[in-house]
Amino acid sequence: MRRDIYQAIADPTRRAILSLLVVQAMTPNALAEHFDISRQGVSNHIKILTECELVKQEQYGREIYYSLEVKKMKEIDTWLEQFRKAWENQFEQLDEILLKMKKNKK
């Protein structure tokens, strides 16, 4: 079953995992230290992120390290861009209204 990346990032724990992986690649045990859930719980979140191709894994000796898949994160950024533009337009309109209000107050 292919998972949807937007469902994956909807979970706060998975977003926190992604935030940790922005800084450096980490093992499941190292990730689990940052959460009040079991290592198995963290592994389940990692599995979903891996299935969505938001993280990739590399094995070094006996350890598996997970890191952020930047190309897939770009897909999310591209989708969010449409909202970013709308927000910026609304903020610009709000700025204009506030300036008019400030001028009228004088």
List, for residues 9-62, the tens digit of each pLDDT value.
Answer: 999 999 999 999 999 999 999 999 999 999 999 999 999 999 999 999 999 999
Confidence check: pLDDT of 1 > 60: no
CATH of the domain at 7: 1.10.10.10
Mean pLDDT, rounded, of the chain: 91
Domain count of the chain? Answer: 2
DSSP code per residue over 54-91: SEEEEEETTEEEEEE-HHHHHHHHHHHHHHHHHHHHHH
The SS3 call for residue 26 is: strand
Task: Find the domain containing 89 and state its range.
Answer: 70-106
Length of the chain: 106
Residue that wins the pLDDT comparison between 4 and 106 = 4
Residues 84 and 64 in one domain: no
Residues 16 and 51 in one domain: yes
The verdict on pTM exceeding 0.85 is: no
